[in-house]
Each structure stands twice: as structure tokens, then as C-alpha cells.
Amino acid sequence: MSFEDWFRQDRLPHIYCAGCGNGTIINCTLAAVDSMGWKKEDTVFVSGIGCSSRAPGYIVTDSLHTTHGRALAFATGVKMANPKLHVVVFTGDGDLAAIGGNHFIHACRRNIDLTVVCMNNQIYGMTGGQGSPTTPRGCISTTTPYGSTEPAFDLSELAIAAGANYVARWTSYHVKELERAVKTGLETPGFSFIEVLVQCPTNFGRRNKFRQVADQIEYIKAHSLLKAKRDRLLEQGERIPEDMYVVGELMRRSRPAMGLAPTEVKP
């Protein structure tokens, strides 16, 4: 079996713009899910609202496309009602960190056994390119026409501080690493958070001097800093440039978790 079998073939091609990285992330997530050997009947995909959140609609399993920001609230309900189900959440930066911010920190605090894949395109893609809590300083959006002046949220740091068991960050360029990180997230009991930096050529790239999709991919690639390298730089007392994104496995621990299937609960 391959990840292609998890797609609803009758629904493809999907509605994402040409070059939108969301499709890449769905591929990687489904490849990881496929390698777990789970049954389709036991797997549930949940999402909120946004371009990213349309993902479950293209997958053959049961899924919930809920209200804006409430993906984690619904996913919590599914998991607590039937801990035997494998629950994977697709969400966007606006969905997770703006309107859904509180659900996010409390799901991390409770450490519920979910795997959350956040497609962070640093913009509200679906509604026409408004600034989101992760829009970097200086970037143009329809609500920040002179460049954003606010500091951006670091979602992975937030998840670590709030108590998630597994946290990793990759980009839509690092497909193999991303697949492996999602797999580790699926295997880890407790809350697993995988943040993926992704290009939105239509609403982010176009306004921020990325004329071609590939230009933005090149930028993302050049501005990814491996965690190991970051640690080495810190050890040597060097400064980390502000515009770099630290990628890699950022946290792995075993805090007590909620919603574990009966066999997984340790005595």
C-alpha cells in the first residue's frame, strides 16, 4: 500500500492554487500514516477552517471539518470518547494560533494523545491574505500594507512551553524529514505537534517579492537552520540570525498523557 491509497481519488485534483505547499504536506502526513499500518476505519482526521483545513476532505477515512479554530476541541472530544481511534489534526497558523490559541495551549497542557500537523504559511490564505500571528516582522499582507510591525509567534516554542510531548518543525522542502517527524509524532503517546513552514504563493509569496513558487522554496531552504547546528553555534557563543527558522526535533519527553488507548496505559 502507498500513501496514494488514502486519497479520495474522485475528489482530486484539489482546489489549492498551483504551487501551494499544502498538498505536499498532505502527501508526507499520509505517507507516515500509511507506514503505521493503521486501518482506515480506526483513523480520523480533524480540521478547522482555512485552506490547510480542507485537507481531510481529500482523505478516504472518517473526518471532521469543524468550525474555525475548534479543530483541537473536536479532536479532544473524539479521542476522549473513543481512545482506540487514531486522531490526526490538520490546521493552519490562523486556525491554531489566532482564533484557536486557547484550545492549542490547553490541548498541550492536557497532553492529549493527538498528532497535530500545522501548515504554517504565515498568512490567512483562504480569506485573501490578512496578517496572522505568525506573519514575520516586515512582511506585507493586506492588513499590514507597510510591513508587519509585530513580533511573530513561535508555535513550536509555545507547544513546548505548554507541555506537548513531541514537537518538531520542518518545511515543505524537507519532505523525507517531515514524513519521519510525523511518523515519530504518531508513535509518541501524548500530544505531538509538527509545525511545517509552507509556501502560499497566492497570498504570501506574491506580496513578498517571491515571483516564482520556487523562489520561496529556495528562501525557506536557505533560512532553515538545523537544531544540531543551532546548538553548536550557541555553544560557541555565536549569535543566531533572527530570520532563521530552527528545524528538527525540538522536544521529546514523556509527561503523563490523556486519552491513551487501554493497552497503552502504563501500570
Partner 1 sequence: MKLAIDETRCKGCNLCTKVCPYRIFKEGKHPNLRGIVVPELDRPERCTNCRLRHLYGRQLCGVCQLTCPDQAIHWVEEEPYEPHKVAIEY
Ligand X SMILES: Cc1ncc(C[n+]2csc(CCOP(=O)(O)OP(=O)(O)O)c2C)c(N)n1
Query: Please, which residue, 111 or 216, has the CB nearer to ligand X?
Result: 216
Distance separating alpha carbons of residues 89 and 105, to the nearest angstrom: 15
Query: Please, which residue, 51 or 85, has the CB nearer to partner 1?
Result: 51
Query: Please, which residue, 77 or 101, has the CB nearer to ligand X?
Result: 101
203 binds ligand SF4 (CB under 6 A): yes
7 binds partner 1 (CB under 8 A): yes
202 binds ligand SF4 (CB under 6 A): yes
By CB under 5 A, the residues from 63 to 122 that bind Mg ion are 92-94, 121
Read off the C-alpha cell for 263: 493497552
Q: Which of 20, 126, 152, 258 binds partner 1 (CB under 8 A)?
A: 20
Which of 75, 74, 120, 67 has its CA nearest to residue 94?
120
175 binds ligand SF4 (CB under 6 A): no
133 binds partner 1 (CB under 8 A): no
- Minimum Å gap between C-beta 244 and Mg ion is 21
Read off the C-alpha cell for 134: 505568525
CB atoms within 10 A of CB 237: 6
Find the helix or strand (DSSP H, E) in which 46 lies. strand 43-47
Whether a cis peptide bond, with omega within 30° of 0, leads into 13 is yes
Asked if 248 contacts 168 with a C-beta cutoff of 8 angstroms, the reply is yes
Which of 157, 74, 160 has its CA nearest to residue 109?
160
18 binds partner 1 (CB under 8 A): yes
Q: Considering CB under 5 A, how many residues would be counted as binding Mg ion?
A: 5
Question: 49 is in the binding site of which of ligand X, partner 1, ligand SF4, none (Cβ under 5 to 8 A by kind)?
Answer: ligand X
